[in-house]
Structure 1
């Protein structure tokens, strides 16, 4: 019987996902609506979509950059809660220029601008979608409209992953 090491198993799993499409979900399950990203990751884990894999970056998404580099995705969707001054659950596309010039919330160790620039350096097709939170207090509930936004994003992936229908934040 051939025994495989954990490194061999991980390498084989990564090999099957290399060059594919990745949903990189960011946020904290302990901070109310900031759980939007991890909730989408869980939904994708429970109900996979062919051609897409989920990476839950949690509160420290920069820790997943090495793993994402090894995956070398051809397409990457970054999903995070972002305070944009909109109604809870509103979904908008964001770019580095939006993140740098607006005071978007972040619960992460490093600035989201750093994360976004690293992702754009490793993948030519990066889309950053922010979901407007209602509240991000510790142990707070997830707002129903934020849950609807997560479901909407999941359905967008099922329907072919055309993110052009989401406007850029104004």
Structure 2
């Protein structure tokens, strides 16, 4: 399962939902066997999707979100679970660490959290070029490894 988190009205904070859209479009137009791939746009409230995640019962969950980690816009990072609270994740109603702990306990899946350094998270409905390039690169990498 791949879950994108973010607010589509806050520029680069739309990274998560946008990558879900990109992966979907590429999978639909490819010959990749994606029968066991679930894409979830969790928007700004991923905690509202825990029942759905439990019902699907994935073995693996990739969480993708805009994360402030003081790097060049568009850079991405695999966020270590033990350090997750030291990073500034985008606009959410609950800390992402709570969600991860809950899903690990209730579903038992392996969770990988990918963060993309935003450039602009103001009230705009466009994503910066730097982040768009990273979205495309990450989407390709994920699809190649399905």
TM-score range, shorter chain: 0.7 to 0.9
Correspondence for 1:97: 82
Q: 1:9 matched to which residue of 2?
A: none
Q: Give the superposition deviation at 1:103.
A: 4.2
Distance in 2, matches of 1:152 and 1:53, equals 19
More relative contact order in 1 or in 2 (CA 8 Å, sep 6+)?
A: 2
Output the CA distance in 1 between the equivalents of 2:50 and 2:145. Answer: 25
Deviation at residue 145 of structure 1 after TM alignment = 1.2
For the 8 Å contact 2:73–2:119, the answer to whether it is kept is yes
Q: Is 2:79–2:115's contact at 8 Å kept on the other side of the alignment? A: yes
State the match for 2:116 in structure 1.
Answer: 131
Q: Is the CA contact (8 Å cut-off) linking 1:76 and 1:123 kept in structure 2?
A: no
Q: Cα RMSD between the aligned structures? A: 1.5
Structure 2: runs of 5+ lacking an equivalent: none
Describe the SS at the equivalent of 2:88: coil
Give the distance between the partners of 1:157 and 1:97, measured in 2 at CA: 23
Question: Quick one: distance in 1 between partners of 2:23 and 2:143?
Answer: 10
**Conserved in 1, the CA contact under 8 Å of 2:67 and 2:87?**
no
Distance in 2 separating the partners of 1:123 and 1:77 = 13
For 1:32 and 1:90, the matched residues in 2 are separated by 16
Q: Under a length normalisation based on structure 1, what TM-score does the superposition of the two structures give?
A: 0.76
Q: Could you tell me how far 1:151 is from its partner in structure 2?
A: 0.7
Aligned residue among 10, 17, 31 for 2:10: 31
Q: Distance in 1 between matches of 2:83 and 2:90?
A: 14
Normalised TM-score (structure 2): 0.88
Name whichever of 72-81 and 136-145 sits farther off.
136-145
Stretches of structure 1 that go unaligned for 5 or more consecutive residues are: 1-21, 162-170
Alignment size in residue pairs: 139
Q: Over residues 128-170 of structure 1, what are the superposed CA-to-partner deviations in whole Å (9 max), with x where a residue is unaligned?
A: 0000001111125311111111111111112115xxxxxxxxx
